[in-house]
Structure 1
Amino acid sequence: MRSDETPTLSPAATPTRAPSLPAPSPWLLRIVTLGLVLAALNLRPAITSLGPLLEEVRDGLHMSGSVAGVLTSVPPLCFALFGFTAPRLARRFGAGAVVCAGMVAIAAGLVLRPFVGGTAGFLAASALALMGIAVSNILMPVIVKRWFPDRVGTMTGLYSMALALGTALAAALTVPLTDALGGNWRTGLVVWAALAAVAVLPWLPLVRDRAPGSGQPRGQAPQPAPALRITRSRTSWALACFFGLQATAAYITMQWMPQIFRDAGVSAGTAGVLLAVTMAMGVPLAFVIPRVAARLKNQGAIALVLGGCGLVGYAGLYLAPAGGAWLWALLLGIANCAFPLALTMIGMRARTGAGVVRLSAFAQSTGYLIAAPGPLLVGVLYQHSGGWGLPIALMAALLVPQMVAGVLAGRDRTIEDEC
């Protein structure tokens, strides 16, 4: 068993403290912590606010089922494409500045997308918000590594919990807010821009802090970036596959689960609450799972337990979607906690800050490329089969390779050793 917070730098690789990089003040660490929490709150509302209103958006923009499927595939595709740029942007401008710009992009995209008119404009504005989410997604582990190198599990759990909370709030409150503000889906979507605007503020003092782009822990001398050929690491590929398959399940759930329940006779408001229950399971578990994972040498058992909950949840969704709706929502919420597990393993599978940057960008960007076709395929299967049986079977089948990849990614080794 490991200690509660597993060091991500081996003793042999521990750098000397540089006098030019003093330890940050407690107030600055509080600002970084607040920034992490507020940023994490904004990493999913652009997506989960759309799911409960997808039917209204489709009608309002005259979308077919296949086009709606394309819309649901936009998030992981944008995360993959823009995520690859995050390390380069962070090296040039600093991770804090990039995350600050990301929050600005999220706010702008959420303001624009309900009102630009037409499907193309909606997709373009959504892509702007998702670009901000993408770079922030990649840089969250880097920020943690930089400012809290001795508390990776705790801080990963904190922002994962905030991310799950933002996800759940958007799913639960979008329909009630829409009704309270006149029943127009455009107004119900735009309100989430205010949360992103608030998240810009704590990152402003960090805009000039350029060093976090390297991922080097604060107060330590800079290290040269290791010459890693990350594609030669089996662990990096296993982690990318695990991340991609869990992202596939998560985005299918966020975009299509409310529609599954609505087609089973559940009201729109209740379907949104059920999605919120699924997302809310990540609030406590996203804090607990990283701390437990950081204590273990091998995280494969956690991946198996989460996958097993998903299999039971999909079986119930297939057999009795309305009758056991609350139980299936709970089980799928537990299964979706593979996300904080993946983030924790990113911090544990590299010894150095530069290694975490490379692994985070590779695993998340490659993973989102793997995830991109999933929501689209579900939409096409739903339209052409006329029901949810085949799509749900696909979702369940994808959990098997996810569990295998999780076992392989959870082994106690680092990419530096493999490369």
Structure 2
Amino acid sequence: MLNRQLIILCIILFGLGVISQPVQYLFPKYVEDTLGSRLWLAGILRAIPIGLGGFSALVAGAVCDQLGRKRTFVAGIIGIFLVGLVFVSSNPAFILAVLCLQGVASGLKSSGGQSYLIGAVDTAALGRASAAYFLSGILGQAFGKSIAGILIQKHGYANFGWLALGSGVLLAIFAVLVLPDQSGTNSINTLAFKKQNWWKTYSTIINRPRIVILAAIRFFSTFSWGSLQFLLPLLMARLTDIQITGFFGGSSDVFACLCLLFTGVVCDRIGVIKPAIGSHLLIFFSLIGLMMVMQSAIGFFVAGVLASGAAWSLSTTMPRFIKQFLANDETGRGVGLVHLAWSIGFLSGYLTASLLVNINLRLPLFLGLVAVSISAFLVFRLSRFDGSC
């Protein structure tokens, strides 16, 4: 399974997790602490860029199939590390501009990175390779979040932002110089591609029922994850402090790594449907647990860690679904379409949580339960199209 392409890709993803994720993770608390703004503003500032990221992934998916996976992926890296500038400004307009750039870049990174992953390994090893792909980013997130709380408490948000920016420049240079190109990935007829608008290249994909259901699964499951991404760091910081909140984020990611490894191995042995169903069940019961222990720091810590692990386990199944349902020259567009569904779901959940958190803390979690239930039903529906999944 291991080869030079996959190893270097995972190293880059680890670095990107260390650099960019702490900023996004602590953003709601940054808005509350530094800008003195209402939490709905944090939701809007993050939701708009996430939506842009989804639509950029559609463009990136088409471009990726034509121009190459490495170029698309590297372009995404260059835009994402600029998110460090968020912590050096208190101007909402500037913060929105930076986050919009980061959102567009995330679409390029997702389409390019996951397409590169799918092209780097055989189908028989894709479950474990997908686990390694997400595992690398999550380990980076765990490390970054764990040290971010300590560094911010000692040196402030701005200094951490400049550190993230400088580290990102070095990572982008490394990616350009070291990440191998993938030969034979530009299999679309270039002349035919240029004669049609990029969105028309999606018509044959969108008309397939299995792809529509897969996109719906990604939307509804990510709605609950978007809500959790807003609520978990904010509520943990209210129950404890910023340093423990960083440790909470790191612990969640470490547990997610274990879930990713387990899910990847299981997918390669028994297929992808049963692991997807199991991930949904774990998300469902974790959300119930969070609703029950909202006033307990320890209980909230445990339930939040479980929820994060379950959500990342579900992500591990997506590349295998895409590889099974789409041809090699459609991979980039398949990833782009699924990432659009992810972005809209995350945007909806994140923004909904920011609007409802001051009305009733349990209401966003209840809506997450509903969304996960719909997503689980769609997984059962998808299994009826192809029993080999």
TM-score of the pair, normalised by structure 2: 0.84
Structure 1 residue corresponding to 2:243, chosen from 269, 275, 279 = 269
Segments of 5+ residues of structure 1 without an aligned counterpart are 6-25, 217-225, 415-419
Write out aligned runs for 1:399-410 (5 A). Answer: 399-410=372-383
Segments of 5+ residues of structure 2 without an aligned counterpart are 190-200
Q: Size of the alignment, in residue pairs?
A: 371
Aligned 8 A contact 1:214 1:357 in 2: no
Following superposition, the deviation at residue 210 of structure 1 comes to 7.0
Could you tell me how far apart the structure 2 residues matched to 1:174 and 1:130 are? 21
Going from structure 1 to structure 2, the CA distance change for 1:362 and 1:340 (only over 3 Å counts) comes to same
Aligned pair 1:77/2:51, yes or no?
yes
- Aligned match of 1:123: 96
Following superposition, the deviation at residue 380 of structure 1 comes to 0.7
Could you tell me how far apart the structure 2 residues matched to 1:141 and 1:157 are? 12
Aligned pair 1:296/2:302, yes or no?
no
Following superposition, the deviation at residue 65 of structure 1 comes to 1.9
Going from structure 1 to structure 2, the CA distance change for 1:208 and 1:275 (only over 3 Å counts) comes to closer
Could you tell me how far apart the structure 1 residues matched to 2:142 and 2:102 are? 18
Structure 2 residue corresponding to 1:37, chosen from 3, 7, 11 = 11
Aligned 8 A contact 1:80 1:369 in 2: yes
Going from structure 1 to structure 2, the CA distance change for 1:251 and 1:389 (only over 3 Å counts) comes to closer
- Aligned match of 1:248: 223
- Aligned match of 2:194: none
Following superposition, the deviation at residue 284 of structure 1 comes to 2.3
Aligned 8 A contact 2:78 2:168 in 1: yes
Could you tell me how far apart the structure 2 residues matched to 1:194 and 1:155 are? 30
Could you tell me how far apart the structure 1 residues matched to 2:87 and 2:202 are? 45
Structure 1 residue corresponding to 2:285, chosen from 309, 312, 317 = 312
Deviations 1:254-300 (A, max 9, x none): 2320112233x222222232232222222122233123213324x33
Structure 2 residue corresponding to 1:101, chosen from 75, 96, 106 = 75
Could you tell me how far apart the structure 1 residues matched to 2:260 and 2:166 are? 25
Per the alignment, in what secondary structure is the counterpart of residue 63 of structure 1? coil
- Aligned match of 1:372: 347
Could you tell me how far apart the structure 2 residues matched to 1:168 and 1:160 are? 12
- Aligned match of 1:204: 177
Following superposition, the deviation at residue 90 of structure 1 comes to 2.1
Aligned pair 1:348/2:348, yes or no?
no
Query: What is the percentage of aligned positions where both structures have the same residue?
Result: 13
Aligned 8 A contact 2:11 2:136 in 1: yes
Could you tell me how far apart the structure 2 residues matched to 1:332 and 1:214 are? 39
Per the alignment, in what secondary structure is the counterpart of residue 155 of structure 1? helix
Hey, which of these two has a bigger chunk of helix by percent? 2
Going from structure 1 to structure 2, the CA distance change for 1:267 and 1:347 (only over 3 Å counts) comes to same
Going from structure 1 to structure 2, the CA distance change for 1:145 and 1:316 (only over 3 Å counts) comes to closer
Deviations 1:209-262 (A, max 9, x none): 67434499xxxxxxxxx9961222121111111222232233322232011223
Structure 2 residue corresponding to 1:391, chosen from 364, 376, 382 = 364
- Aligned match of 1:168: 142
Aligned 8 A contact 1:247 1:339 in 2: no
Following superposition, the deviation at residue 190 of structure 1 comes to 3.7
Q: CA RMSD in A?
A: 2.9
Deviations 1:67-125 (A, max 9, x none): 11112324531321211111233245321112112212222x23433335511111111
